Amino acid sequence: AVFVILACLSYVFGAMYILTPWFPLMLVRPTWYRRVMDHLIAWWQTLIVALLELIYGVKVRITGDSIKPGERTLLIMNHRTRLDWMFLWMFLIRRGQLSNLKIVLKNEMKKIPGASWGMEVACFLFITRRWEEDEKILKKGLDYLTSIGHPTQLLLFPEGTDFTERTRKRSDAYAEKYNLPKYHYVL
């Protein structure tokens, strides 16, 4: 409960007193605005990671390939918990690359009061799961980031939702209906 309260309070006050005053810069210098927003949001994400590590004692062990600084990257992860993306933040913080992260989210995330505004300011991409629409959304967002020379690291959860007993049952029902294999670690 302490983590959730502190995270929500930091978000509300950060949005009001740290992000909002920078909006005029968007009209004058869009590239500078994007860089400032990316760094401010990365600082907030660092606070959230610090809370996870300090309050809950979460430890991160980094293994595997590293991400080259400044290189545009597509990150594909399994969505096992609601905190997966925070674990990625822990990795990117330690690599000094958190401010480049953009996340592809399902459109339903736009309905979260307050948080959706922050995700839009962060330039996250909201998709509908209909390729006819999503292709345009992704193209527009990625074209914008490319046009300002942003070294984007795009995070994609192919399942589109976290792995729970309820979502596993839905996935199994779909697999059964279409005679597909049932998976134990992904949907």
Q: What are the tens digits of pLDDT across the range 153-185?
A: 999 987 656 667 887 788 888 889 989 888 876
Distance CA 118, CA 120 (A): 5
The pTM for the full model equals 0.80
Phi, psi of 104, deg, nearest 5: -90, 120
| Per-residue pLDDT at 185 | 66
Work out the mean pLDDT of the chain and round it to a whole number: 87
Average pLDDT over residues 12-40: 90
Distance CA 96, CA 105 (A): 23
**Strand ranges across the sheet with 73-76:** 73-76, 153-156, 101-106, 125-127
| Per-residue pLDDT at 163 | 67
> 186 pLDDT band (50/70/90 cuts)?
low
The residue ranking higher by pLDDT, 14 or 92, is: 92
Q: Which two tokens stand for residue 173?
A: 């029902």
| Per-residue pLDDT at 29 | 93
Distance CA 156, CA 141 (A): 14
Q: What are the tens digits of pLDDT across the range 93-147?
A: 988 899 999 999 989 888 887 778 888 899 999 999 899 999 999 999 999 999 9
Nearest to 7, CA basis, from 56, 49, 69: 49
Contact 42, 121 (CB under 8 A): no
Average pLDDT over residues 3-23: 84
Strand 73-76 vs strand 101-106: parallel, antiparallel, or unpaired?
unpaired
Per-residue pLDDT at 70 exceeds 60: yes
- 């004692």: which residue's tokens? 57
